[in-house]
Structure 1
Amino acid sequence: MNKPNLEQKVFLALLLVVSLAFAWILLPFYGAVFWAVILAILFGPMQRRLLKRFGGRPNLTALTTLLVSLLVAVLPVIIITALLVQEGATLYQRIESGDLNVGAYVEQFRAMLPNFVQHQLDRFGLNDLGSLRDRLSSGALAGSQFLATKAFSFGQGTFEFVVGFFVMLYLLFFFLRDGPELVARIRQAIPLSQNQKRKLFSKFTRVARATVKGNIVVAATQGALGGLIFWFLGIPSPLLWGVLMAFLSLLPAVGAGIIWTPVAIYYLLNDQVTQGVLLTLYGIFVIGLVDNILRPILVGKDTKMPDYVVLVSTLGGLSLFGLNGFVVGPLIAALFMSAWGLFTGPASAPSPLSAEMPVVPPTERPG
């Protein structure tokens, strides 16, 4: 038996085992590690610019970037989540006490429909709205109960949350400071040619950053605008509806319109023409145009993934990874498209993205 070949196989097996064991150890904090990596990718360009301004002081630069990311990205999410849980608990109490009757709104909506519309509903066998009313009532109660449960159980998971939060901040500091060195080591370990590794890393970094940033910013903007108009019109639980519009903005073509369109129709049928027209115009020309204006700026034509890929990968990620799948799904899709684009593309073609992610060798890192 060839002894060098055997040693190589044993070493590769050992490498695989210890890598899986290390991943298993990190599994309880996979969310903290994942978001530390995502924030490091998003705020990496800022860190490199600040490094030049601070005269090559990596610790100060990483700390400053960490504080900026904490104020811009982390704290707003924590505050909105706490307010959302509190609002969900209030909504659950209103539904359970009968103060908010979802079934009555369904019946009122049917009564306001024109006669010919009700005739068409009867013709297609959709005249029985009792089951729909019951499903909507039970669904609203279950959703608000879920948020209320989170409000009561948050105290039990406070320790895990605090530990995971500080693990994320701790890792983010070192990912920002030592990011180029870590990327260089990872690139060195991948058994591909230098040209392939450069293309793969550059393409994936650019697509991932643009896709994640585009999805999050567009969703947050549409949700904030939708919640603002709901608050202005006096609609109950505007924060809850705004968060729903933010998530539904990932659906191509319809998106947040699934939430505000029925409300606008309700206003129009209830002779509240001013509110209905205002909400319709606002939804079309303000909420609806955010995607067409912001997404090309944040994503760009050369890195934008198809809408159906974003939709399927996001829904699949949410079903597998929970809320983290909102970002995990599109990231995996970006890696998939980058790898297959590298495989099917011309091997000799020059990469226009080669300057996207400069690598600083460990010996040349400032400071």
Structure 2
Amino acid sequence: MQSQYRLSTRMSRDVRDLFIRIGLIAMLVVFSYQVFQPFLELMLWSVILAVTLYPLQRWLQARLGLRDGRAATLIVVVALLLLLVPVYLLALSLSDSLDALVILLKSGDWSLPAPPDSVAGWPLVGPRLHAAWLSASGDLTSALHRLLPHLKGSGRALLGALANISAALLLFIAALIIAGICMAFGENGLSAAQRIAARVSGPERGPHIVKLCTSTIRAVAQGVIGIAFIQMLLVGVGFVAIGVPGAGILAFVVLLLGIVQLPATLITVPVIVYVFSTQGFDVATIVFAVYSVVAGLADNVLKPLLLGRGVDVPMPVVLFGALGGMVVKGIIGLFLGPVILAVAYKLFWLWVDEQRQEDVADLGHPD
């Protein structure tokens, strides 16, 4: 009787100690997450960039004989130049345009030309647009006063969008620098990832899970950038052929929109309107409009073809993961969604195959 009482007391003490340990671990995890949470998106982007660019680093090391740190530094410097130089030129062009606009407004010698007669023939919006344009061309000051309340709200929205774009650009630059540091210690990072995966899913599955995650991230990144680049070329060729001013800058904006998963029609539709208003309706402009619409929607066809190449899961899993992740978590969900869905898909079928192997073994060795 006394031994049973001691056993019961020991079990209750062990259970109490277990709950205390679980509580302390939970508190530690929650507090650690709260401390790390402001840097979570930055570190996720850094890991995604490091995984994507690491094969390029290995290629540079093999070709140029560079060390890990120097190859990673070279990649980061070139990437920053490719990113910042066009942004600087675009900002410089916008600054010059704003300066010219301010000078024009101060001089008072500004007016709006009368609209072409072809604008009135546009479907749906043509007559209203022609009337508003004609009224503004006669008295631009009164028209601006009427539009001023609407322009204030649009200006605030535009400033907010510019602030968000600037913050995203700074975040990407910081993530690129941290990714370079991660690539400099790429072998240690790979070993650590395999050890963590082996501890979570077992020594046999661990390396395979790590390989699946890295291949999925690279496939999505290469697919997104590759699709955006192809779309930039398609749209840019049309802009150059029809003679759109600033065709190169507009094509580069299409590339940026494709990378951040925004539709290229944000650029192609205004350009089509501009071409129709300046060159009228003829065979060349109509062909250009149809071509630009098709080129702007080409990503909807290319995504199912390019996403998921080289990944050991069906393409629909990667595609649904990318689209669903983007809806739930934005741009970063474009990468996290396919990784999570691919790992879940693979673990599910590994679990199914294990059960089937056990059933076969039981049938082969009956009691």
TM-score of Structure 1 vs Structure 2, range by shorter chain:
0.5 to 0.7
Q: SS at the partner of 2:309? A: coil
- 1:317 maps to which residue? 329
**Which residue is equivalent to 1:203?**
212
Counterpart of 1:67, as a letter, is L
Q: 1:36 offset after TM fit, Å?
A: 2.5
Alignment match, 2:68: 61
Query: Residue 215 of structure 1 corresponds to which residue in structure 2?
Result: 224
Corresponding residue of 1:76: 82
Map 1:77-92 to 2 at 5 A: 77-90=83-96
| Structure 1 residue 183: Cα displacement | 0.7
2:292 is aligned with 1:283: yes
Matched, 1:169 2:169: no
Q: CA deviation at 1:38?
A: 1.4
Q: What is the correspondence of 1:81-160 to structure 2 with a 5 Å cutoff?
A: 81-90=87-96, 108=115, 112-114=119-121, 117-118=123-124, 141-142=155-156, 145=159
After superposition, the Cα gap between the structure-2 partners of 1:113 and 1:211, relative to the gap in structure 1 and judged at 3 Å, is farther
2:52 counterpart letter in structure 1? L
Does the 8 Å contact 2:228/2:259 carry over to 1? yes
Letter in 2 for 1:345: W
Instruction: Answer yes or no: is the 8 Å Cα contact 1:47–1:62 preserved in 2.
Output: no
Q: Deviations over 1:75-98 (max 9, x none)?
A: 322333333444454555567777
Rounded Cα–Cα distance in structure 2 between residues aligned with 1:210 and 1:11 = 41
Q: Against the structure 1 CA distance between its residues 20 and 307, is the aligned structure 2 distance closer, same or farther, given a 3 Å change threshold?
A: same
User: Conserved in 1, the CA contact under 8 Å of 2:318 and 2:338?
Assistant: no
Against the structure 1 CA distance between its residues 208 and 272, is the aligned structure 2 distance closer, same or farther, given a 3 Å change threshold? same
Structure 1 residue 210: Cα displacement: 0.9
The alpha-carbon deviation at position 276 of structure 1 amounts to 2.4
Give the match for residue 43 of structure 2: 33
Counterpart Cα distance in 2 of 1:16 and 1:32:
24
Distance 1:266 1:24, change over 3 A: same
Between structure 1 and structure 2, the one with the greater Rg is 2
Shift of 1:259: 2.3
Q: Distance in 2 between matches of 1:224 and 1:146?
A: 30
Contact 1:121/1:127 (CA < 8 Å) preserved in 2?
yes
1:338 equivalent to 2:345? Answer no
What corresponds to 1:267 in structure 2? 275
Residues 222 and 287 in structure 1, CA contact (< 8 A), matched pair in contact too: yes
The corresponding residue for 2:196 is 186
Q: How many residues align?
A: 321
Q: Whole-Å Cα distance in 1 between the matches of residues 164 and 100 of structure 2?
A: 17
Report the counterpart of residue 256 of structure 1 in structure 2. Answer: 264
CA distance in 2, matches of 1:202, 1:217: 22
Structure 1, gaps ≥5 residues long: 319-325, 351-367
Q: Which has the higher helix share?
A: 2
**Match for 1:169: what amino acid?**
G
SS in 1 for 2:351: coil
**1:216 positional shift:** 2.6
Q: Pick the aligned partner of 1:247 from 249, 254, 257.
A: 257
Identity %: 16
Using the TM superposition, give the Cα deviation of residue 265 of structure 1 relative to its aligned residue in structure 2, in angstroms: 4.6
The residue aligned with 2:305 is: 296
CA RMSD of aligned residues (A): 5.2
Alpha-carbon distance, 1:292 to partner: 4.8
Specify which structure has the bigger relative contact order, considering alpha-carbon pairs within 8 angstroms and separated by 6 or more residues.
Answer: 1
1:80 partner amino acid: P
